[in-house]
Amino acid sequence: MTDNTKKIAALPIEAPAYEAVTDLISDYAHALDDGQLDRWPGFFTETALYHVTTRENHDQGLPIGIIRCVGRGMMIDRVKAFHTANIFEPHHYNHLLGPARIGPGRTAGAVASRCNFQIVRIMEDGRMDLFATGKYLDEIVLESGVAKFRERFVVLDSRNVDILMVVPL
Amino acid sequence: MTDNTKKIAALPIEAPAYEAVTDLISDYAHALDDGQLDRWPGFFTETALYHVTTRENHDQGLPIGIIRCVGRGMMIDRVKAFHTANIFEPHHYNHLLGPARIGPGRTAGAVASRCNFQIVRIMEDGRMDLFATGKYLDEIVLESGVAKFRERFVVLDSRNVDILMVVPL
Amino acid sequence: MTDNTKKIAALPIEAPAYEAVTDLISDYAHALDDGQLDRWPGFFTETALYHVTTRENHDQGLPIGIIRCVGRGMMIDRVKAFHTANIFEPHHYNHLLGPARIGPGRTAGAVASRCNFQIVRIMEDGRMDLFATGKYLDEIVLESGVAKFRERFVVLDSRNVDILMVVPL
């Protein structure tokens, strides 16, 4: 490591403000509720990790996931795949979020958040069912001054996962 | 427009504080949970719009609503009608709200809010069912220094609406 | 009352800050979600009251409760009983909380909070059901500088209560 690097590392790194964090978490949910999948990758940093797993795997520290995207490019590909392979009966979602429990992140400039969710799925004919429950475990940082997910773990309570589920949660 | 009017319009208009907005949204839900329907009109400004519609109609910009009240007087009439025509099996509600996403309103002094909800209905015998999900789209202003809804759109996710539903949501 | 006591009573008593209150409420829910029952008594003051009742009893002012613990010692006993008498099919919970409506408590230094909840139960095989809905009515104070429940009333919406329910809510 050069002296130069040390100097850069020593600069204080600004963490996103409380309100920016809670707004990010809400906006993400509302975008998905609105079916605006194209907005989804934009909530993440360029090199972010998006990982959907079950509570069981997560508690055992297993790296196995149901969906794993590394980087915004991979997320954009996933959105494209969704648009071309939409075999679903039309439906949409209601993401109900609990309050975010916010604390310091793993590195300087990062905020950690834990937030429960319950997602209700509404079919075209009006049927509603509880689609998924779980928690979001997030690391949130500023990228060009905007709060983004550097990491979002979606930990599902149930191992019964709809195998056709390709939609971001 | 007279010079006088212009001067009045030029005065800064105070917007409700963040906490007053979130308290209003919570108090509204708790009043309905408590069955205190008489309190319901008091959460709105004198000339407020209360509009219940479906997601489908709302997305298409259709002005068709399931319930539409313009002004507090009309809301008071609705509460009276409810008291005289209560043909329901006894029940009550649990309004679970997501975090409010707050931003600037359409006019000076107004705050806009979007907030998801899930309402569970509990019948006298203890049965619980998911009654409605959707979002509140609000414009909130100060009326005599108190935060009130100038506009509350209740956008239901499902088109399956209980036709007997006259209770405020 | 001696002059001495008067002097002590006259000292300003610090109330927990808003963020400490909302963090306490979230941490309590997350600990139960995580199955960390041993942490449960630690969220209360030494002499706290934990009272689970139904909406019906609560509205009528009946002191009858489903579960009533007075003091942390009694809570610790309850946790022990749970560990030794665990006859349940394995399962866990997702506590979804609404926003806390916070105001002044009954005494100086106390904060009152009302917060809706919906608890989903997830069985080992993945089945999910809406286990309970209701509201938390809390009195929160500082104990050695840490926010704790001095009183937590869990008011269940439904009178249909699982008689095997010994788990804290």
Per-residue pLDDT at B90 exceeds 90? no
Determine which of A14-18, A41-45, A51-55, C59-63 has the lowest per-residue pLDDT on average: C59-63
pLDDT over 90 for what percent of chain A? 70
Quick one: tokens of B63? 């002005």
Per-residue pLDDT at C39 exceeds 50? yes
**Looking at CA atoms only, how far is residue B9 from chain C in angstroms?**
34
Q: What pLDDT, in 10s, does the model give residues B29-50?
A: 999 999 999 999 999 999 999 9
Task: Name chain B contacts of A130, Cβ cutoff 8 Å.
Answer: 130
Nearest to A114 among C30, C96, C125 (CB): C30
Task: Name chain C contacts of B125, Cβ cutoff 8 Å.
Answer: 160
**Interface contact C126-A101, CB threshold 8 A:** no
What's the rounded Cα separation, in Å, for the pair A20 and A40?
Answer: 17
Nearest-Cα residue of chain A relative to residue B118: A96
Quick one: tokens of A129? 């069912």
Q: Which residue has the higher pLDDT, C82 or A50?
A: A50
Whether B169 has its CB under 8 Å from any CB of chain C: the answer is no
Q: What pLDDT, in 10s, does the model give residues B103-136?
A: 999 999 999 999 999 999 998 888 899 999 999 9
**Interface contact C134-B94, CB threshold 8 A:** yes
| Confidence (pTM) | 0.91
What's the rounded Cα separation, in Å, for the pair C33 and C35?
Answer: 5
Task: Name chain C contacts of B95, Cβ cutoff 8 Å.
Answer: 98, 116
Sorted by sequence, the CB contacts under 8 Å of residue A161 that are 6+ apart come out as A54, A66
Whether A17 has its CB under 8 Å from any CB of chain B: the answer is no
Phi and psi, residue B136, nearest 5°: -95, 130
Quick one: tokens of A132? 């998924």
CB atoms within 10 A of CB B7: 9
pLDDT value for A163: 53
Query: In whole angstroms, how far apart are CA C70 and each of C62, C82, C156?
Result: 17, 17, 19
ipTM over 0.90? The verdict is no
**Interface contact C130-B118, CB threshold 8 A:** no
Interface probe with A: pick from B129, B131, B160, B163, most Cβ of A within 10 Å:
B160
Q: What pLDDT, in 10s, does the model give residues B68-80?
A: 999 999 999 999 9
Determine which of B141-150, C9-18, C122-131 has the lowest per-residue pLDDT on average: C9-18
What's the rounded Cα separation, in Å, for the pair B96 and B122?
Answer: 13
DSSP state of C108: T
DSSP state of A39: G
Identify the chains in contact with C, defined as 3+ C-beta pairs within 8 A.
A, B
Q: What is the mean pLDDT of chain C?
A: 89
What's the rounded Cα separation, in Å, for the pair C31 and A116?
Answer: 12
pLDDT value for B88: 63
Determine which of A16-20, B86-90, C35-39 has the lowest per-residue pLDDT on average: B86-90
**Interface contact A158-C27, CB threshold 8 A:** no
Let me know: does C129 contact C141? Beta carbons within 8 Å. Answer: no
Whether C94 has its CB under 8 Å from any CB of chain A: the answer is yes
Determine which of A55-64, B25-34, B72-81 has the lowest per-residue pLDDT on average: A55-64
